[in-house]
């Protein structure tokens, strides 16, 4: 572990802070994408393999759709605890703290990282997984890592356009918590980050 990882997290947190401060979600999304491309191309802690980095021209995304941005209240859900085994971080505990309904599209469980620091975790595995998106799914929110779109008065902002792949999608040396059953749906969500033809590795 080095301070390069700290710098990566600071840069990610800065990107999301700019999103939260913007009054134009589409413009903020474009700035966020540009910043992520820069990090993936230039930062020493980029998750890309050396081969993928050498040919990197940007992360592919679907076009921004303003209808896929939601400000939602946390709905009650029965408590549940997950113990997620990872190669590098040991067993990572999550506790279900509720759910969110994104219009008529989907209801998803919302999790809290139940270890030091804590944070909201909202993964998604949809019908595009293994085809145009990573087979293990994508993340919508992971606030312990800075991925926080904000919200006010007890609401969370959840924007499917900001769905992004976890680090293990780019490099098999990484291990990541993946979407549990309450965060999976059969329908394809075509918004957000996509896989390049042939994948990353």
For residues 70-92, give the mean pLDDT. 85
For residues 41-62, give the mean pLDDT. 94
- Ordered by start, the domain boundaries in the chain are 3-183
- Tell me the per-residue pLDDT of 123-171, one tens digit each, with 9 for 90 and over: 999 999 999 999 999 999 999 999 999 998 789 999 999 999 999 999 9
- Tell me the per-residue pLDDT of 108-128, one tens digit each, with 9 for 90 and over: 999 999 988 899 999 999 999
pLDDT reported for residue 36: 98
pLDDT reported for residue 201: 64
Starting at the edge strand found earlier in the chain, the sheet holding 120-124 runs 81-86, 90-102, 106-113, 120-124, 138-142
Q: Which two tokens stand for residue 123?
A: 């993964």
Q: Which of 171, 139, 176 is nearest to 158 (CA)?
A: 139
pLDDT reported for residue 88: 63
pLDDT reported for residue 61: 98
Cβ-proximal residues to 197 (8 Å cutoff; 6+ apart), any chain: none
pLDDT reported for residue 29: 98
* Confidence class for position 176, pLDDT limits 50, 70, 90: confident
CA distance 148 to 156: 9
- Percentage of the chain modeled with pLDDT above 90: 80
Integer Rg of the chain from CA: 16
pLDDT reported for residue 1: 61
pLDDT reported for residue 104: 77
Q: Do residues 154 and 68 lie in contact, with contact meaning Cβ atoms separated by under 8 Å?
A: no
CA distance 55 to 57: 6
Q: Name the pTM for this structure.
A: 0.94
CA distance 133 to 184: 13
Q: Which of 3, 19, 37, 4 is nearest to 146 (CA)?
A: 19
Q: What is the mean pLDDT of the chain?
A: 92
More confident: 100 or 201: 100
């Amino acid at each position: 572990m080095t301070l390069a990882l700290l710098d990566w997290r600071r840069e990610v947190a800065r990107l999301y802070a700019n999103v939260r401060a913007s009054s134009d979600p589409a413009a903020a999304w474009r700035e966020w994408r540009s910043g992520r491309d820069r990090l993936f191309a230039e930062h020493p802690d980029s998750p890309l393999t050396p081969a993928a980095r050498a040919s990197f021209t940007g992360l592919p995304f679907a076009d921004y759709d303003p209808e896929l941005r939601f400000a939602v209240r946390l709905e009650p859900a029965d408590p549940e605890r997950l113990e997620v085994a990872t190669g590098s971080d040991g067993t990572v505990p999550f506790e279900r703290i509720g759910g969110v309904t994104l219009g008529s599209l989907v209801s998803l469980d919302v999790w809290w990282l139940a270890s030091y620091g804590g944070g909201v975790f909202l993964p998604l595995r949809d019908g595009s997984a293994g085809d145009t998106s990573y087979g293990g799914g994508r993340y919508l929110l992971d606030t312990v890592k800075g991925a926080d779109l904000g919200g006010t008065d007890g609401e969370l902002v959840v924007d499917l356009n900001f769905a992004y792949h976890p680090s293990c999608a780019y490099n098999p040396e990484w291990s990541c918590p993946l979407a549990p059953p309450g965060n999976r749906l059969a329908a394809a969500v075509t918004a957000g980050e996509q896989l390049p033809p042939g994948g990353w590795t």
